[in-house]
Amino acid sequence: MEIKLEKAETLKEKPDSSTLGFGKIFTDYMFMMDWNIDKGWYNQRIVPFANISLHPASTVLHYGSEIFEGLKAYRRKDGKVQLFRPIENIRRMNRSAERLCLPQIPEDMAMEILTTFVRLEQDWTPDAEGTSLYLRPFMFGNDETLGVHAVHNATYVIIASPVGSYYKEGINPVKIMIEDEDVRAVRGGTGYAKCGGNYAASNRAGERAEKKGYSQVLWLDGVERKYIEEVGAMNVMFMIGDEIVTPMLSGSILPGITRMSCLEVLRKEGYKVSERLLSIDELADAMKNGTLKEAWGCGTAAVVSPIGELCYKDVKYTVNNGEIGKVTQHLYDTLTGIQWGKIEDTFGWTQEI
Ligand code: PLP
Ligand code: COI
């Protein structure tokens, strides 16, 4: 595969890495390639970061044929740049593609593209505490017709953004509202795929929660509205007594790479870990009788985000006195330690660029 490079006339000034927000600044270049049902993937190119021009009937604009990924490049103490479990993002994107009838990308090709692009843009990887270069691969269908059908043409793009923390709270505990009206996804739907539509459908509940002073919502299952699924755009974990519980992957939950990594760390260290159904009644009992010790969300953007308060049907419950718990802090330190190369990666998760 040949990746053509179209050089930018001028390069942008890099931001002060101590003042970064999330996803507002973009690097000099982006990767693009096109797909056609007869030709396969073609025209691999790295071009200056710019607007994308689309036919007004393009499938993505009408029927939401879009999937994406999110992963980070981290600047290690020794100055080198590394990725965290990128093959898992590549595999998940292919599973999302299969669900949305978008084309899959052979793993070797996807990895070569990702590493070539990150190598070119690696100077954009910030070095201030807690910062990284967020990589956003995405794919959309772009047939130029209004017919509803699996697409025959698609485009794959990677953009990159130097980022700080995702939530303004950083690693401080967030307040979460349990949502019992809207649902994020249902089994048989697209919950396990990382597709734009899932996020569009979640915004109404997110807005309602924000208006009441909450950062995110806790989603319940779409059938019985009884079982806990995810928190905002993160997976969720609870420590109830000495058991760490996370909802099992049932088709409506996104299989998070941070979730998988937390489970692997905890299991290796001998914690009692369960992937199972967890009903809101069980959680409410644990909140009332004090056995709920800790709760946290986990995802690439925030890594681990402690939950300090949960509100269910207008009753507020404080978790761990609104402070970050021991296990939550330990997971944050372990994952970020591996990601930023501060502690040894005994799992083989990191990949130097
Ligand atoms: N759940 C949802 C809905 C997400 O958008 C994300 C973020 O990517 C996650 C969970 C966490 O996944 P990961 O740990 O792979 O970032
Ligand atoms: C995450 O990485 O945890 C996310 O949820 C990404 C978000 C910006 C969609």
Identify the CATH number of the domain in which residue 107 sits. 3.30.470.10
From the first residue on, what is the mean pLDDT of each consecutive set of 10 residues in the chain (353 residues)?
A: 97 94 96 98 98 98 98 95 98 98 98 98 95 98 96 98 84 92 95 97 96 95 96 97 97 98 98 98 94 97 94 92 96 96 96 95
Residue 138 and residue 235 in one domain:
no
Residue 41 and residue 157 in one domain:
yes
- Of 129, 163, 197, the residue that ends a domain is 163
Domain that holds residue 283: 174-339
| pLDDT score recorded for residue 170 | 72
Residue 185 and residue 299 in one domain:
yes
Residue 215 and residue 181 in one domain:
yes
Residue 157 and residue 220 in one domain:
no
pTM of the model: 0.96
Residue 153 and residue 213 in one domain:
no
β-pairing verdict for 29-36 and 4-5: unpaired
Q: Using a 6 Å cutoff on CB, does residue 299 contact ligand 2? A: yes
DSSP letter at 256 equals -
Residue 20 and residue 141 in one domain:
yes
Number of domains composing the chain: 2
β-pairing verdict for 40-48 and 303-312: unpaired
| pLDDT score recorded for residue 154 | 98
**Ligand 1 pocket check: which of 235, 304, 331, 349 to mutate, most ligand atoms within 8 Å of Cβ?**
235
Residue 104 and residue 242 in one domain:
no
Strand, helix or coil for residue 296? strand
Among residues 6, 7, 92, 73, which one has the least CA distance to residue 44?
6
For residues 99 and 106, what is the distance between their CA atoms, to the nearest angstrom?
16
Partners of 238 in beta bridges: 245, 295
Residue 125 and residue 186 in one domain:
no
Separation of CA 193 and ligand 2 centre (Å): 13
> Which residues neighbour 51 within 8 Å (Cβ) at sequence distance 6 or greater?
none
Q: Using a 6 Å cutoff on CB, does residue 302 contact ligand 1? A: no
| pLDDT score recorded for residue 166 | 82
Residue 157 and residue 185 in one domain:
no
